[in-house]
């Protein structure tokens, strides 16, 4: 099953939506806690819904259960928590939430996980895919769009 990930930073709207359209993304799965961010106007939930439908023929779904808690995220952003601790806490959080049982496979098929980070290396969207591959029988083939 093909799945994609993308961050909206360091991309203008043209590049962002072109990535999604060319990849054949059916559903953009927003895995941010705050989906009304002012960092990029096109990345706010209502704008995303409109642009995705009009430009890509894709749907928008907000899935905050695939995001870290505010406490975990803020500690990492403030430099109070190294990446390794953040990763461990987020993986444990996903296990506590049993995301592998609640996420529907049809949502993930040609879906794209969205957050703000430009690259996936130090981003929770990569961890979500890795967790699902380890704890489900989905066999997700991931392509990071950046």
pLDDT in tens, 63-111: 999 999 999 999 999 999 999 999 999 999 999 999 999 999 999 999 9
CA distance 92 to 37: 26
CA distance 117 to 7: 5
Beta-carbon contacts of residue 56 (< 8 Å; ≥ 6 apart): 17, 20, 21, 25
Does residue 48 form part of some domain? Answer: yes
User: What pLDDT is recorded for position 36?
Assistant: 83
The pLDDT of residue 39 is above 70: no
Instruction: Please give the distance of CA 16 from its chain centroid, rounded to a whole number.
Output: 14
Tens-digit pLDDT profile for residues 117-144: 999 999 999 999 999 999 999 999 999 9
Task: Give the global pTM.
Answer: 0.94
CA neighbours closer than 13 Å in the CB half-sphere of residue 133: 13
Nearest Cα residue to 5 out of 101, 86, 116, 84: 116
Q: Quote the domain boundaries for residue 115.
A: 2-140
Number of domains in the chain: 1
Q: What is the mean pLDDT of residues 24-28?
A: 98
Mean pLDDT of the residues in the chain:
95
User: What pLDDT is recorded for position 37?
Assistant: 67
Nearest Cα residue to 142 out of 53, 49, 23: 23
């Amino acid at each position: 099953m093909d799945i994609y990930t993308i961050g909206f930073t360091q991309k203008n709207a043209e590049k962002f939506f072109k990535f999604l359209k060319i990849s054949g993304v059916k559903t953009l799965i927003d895995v941010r806690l705050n989906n009304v961010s002012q960092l990029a106007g096109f990345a706010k939930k209502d704008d995303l819904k409109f642009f995705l439908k009009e430009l890509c023929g894709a749907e928008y779904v907000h899935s905050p259960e695939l995001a870290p808690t505010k406490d975990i995220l803020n500690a990492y952003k403030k430099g109070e928590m190294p990446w390794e601790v953040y990763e461990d806490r987020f993986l444990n959080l996903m296990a506590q939430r049993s995301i592998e049982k609640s996420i529907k496979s049809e949502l993930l098929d040609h879906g794209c996980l969205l957050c703000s980070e430009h690259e996936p290396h130090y981003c929770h969207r990569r961890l979500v895919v890795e967790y699902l591959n380890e704890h489900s029988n989905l066999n997700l083939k991931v392509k990071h769009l950046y």
